């Protein structure tokens, strides 16, 4: 069962400038940063709030590290903006199987490792009214490590 909006992914050309915008404009601070070589992105997670299920909600800012990455291709076609929405779940495998049974294409055969050690999969945007949708099971313990 989906429990919360885990994060909104925002594609950007310059991660540092975009982080500074959210810091100066809204007072958000960086909770976590990492480079995901597999997905070809450098990212910053800005924590927005805690949630009743023990998780949190974030803005995930994504800068491609290579032009042929999914985010790099998306930026070239669409420019900066909202890239995807991610819903938190205690069971990414079970929820992915459940939506697949309802005819929604799941993009990964098996969930992959995402930000902060989470387990993730994506749902095809054409099956989700044009919205790239991510399902996320957070790592057992969040770390504010940068």
Catalytic (active-site) positions: 7, 43, 60, 84, 134
Instruction: Find out whether 86 and 7 touch, Cβ atoms under 8 Å.
Output: yes
Number of H helices, E strands in the chain: 3, 8
Tokens found for residue 126: 């054409």
**How far from 63 is each of 31, 43, 55, CA to CA, in Å?**
16, 6, 24
Q: Supply φ then ψ for residue 105, to 5 degrees.
A: -75, 130
- Give the closest residue to 120 by CA, choosing from 47, 44, 36, 46: 36
């Amino acid at each position: 069962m989906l429990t919360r909006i885990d994060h909104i992914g925002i594609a950007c050309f310059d991660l540092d400038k975009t982080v500074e915008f959210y810091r100066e404009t809204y007072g958000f601070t960086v909770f976590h940063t990492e480079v995901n070589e597999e997905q070809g992105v450098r990212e910053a997670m800005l924590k927005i709030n805690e949630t009743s299920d023990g998780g949190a909600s974030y803005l995930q800012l994504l800068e491609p590290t290579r032009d042929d990455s999914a985010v790099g291709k998306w930026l070239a076609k669409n420019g900066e903006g909202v890239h995807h929405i991610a819903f938190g779940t205690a069971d990414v495998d079970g929820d992915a199987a459940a939506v697949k049974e309802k005819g929604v294409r799941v993009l990964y055969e098996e969930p992959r490792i995402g930000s902060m050690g989470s387990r993730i999969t994506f749902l095809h945007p054409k099956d989700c009214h044009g919205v790239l949708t991510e399902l996320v099971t957070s790592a057992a313990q969040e770390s504010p490590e940068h």
